């Protein structure tokens, strides 16, 4: 399955960050399979970042998700 992450940076190798605060569901690396939602989020992140850096861009990170491997290696929250 293809999943997406909207950002203002390229993330080639996702890592779980364990010290970040302020997330709706706690620590983690947030993705979705909804491309349009991700594009909107990336544009929002870029807009916020342009206030700090004029060269900020909206980035759509795309990943191949292996659910079998994820179930073995990660603690997942899935919302249907």
Confidence check: pLDDT of 29 > 60: yes
Confidence at residue 24, expressed as pLDDT on a 0 to 100 scale? 63
Contact 14, 70 (CB under 8 A): no
Beta strands in 1-80 (DSSP E): 2-7, 59-64
* CB proximity list for 37: less than 8 A, separation 6 or greater: 6
How high is the pLDDT of residue 15? Answer: 75
Q: What is the pLDDT of residue 18?
A: 62
Q: How many Cα atoms sit within 13 Å of 53 on the Cβ side?
A: 9
> Does the reported pTM lie above 0.75?
no
Q: Are 60 and 33 in contact (CB under 8 A)?
A: no
Other Cβ atoms less than 10 A from the Cβ of 41: the count is 19
Q: Most confidently modeled of 19-23, 24-28, 41-45, 71-75?
A: 41-45
Indicate if the pLDDT at residue 34 is higher than 90: yes
């Amino acid at each position: 399955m293809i999943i997406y992450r909207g950002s203002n940076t390229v993330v080639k190798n996702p890592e779980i960050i364990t010290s970040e605060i302020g997330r709706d569901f706690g620590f983690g690396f947030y993705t979705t399979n909804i491309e349009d939602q991700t594009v909107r989020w990336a544009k929002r992140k870029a807009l916020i970042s342009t206030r700090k850096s004029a060269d900020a861009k909206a980035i759509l990170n795309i990943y191949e998700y292996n659910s079998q491997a994820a179930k073995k290696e990660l603690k997942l929250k899935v919302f249907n």
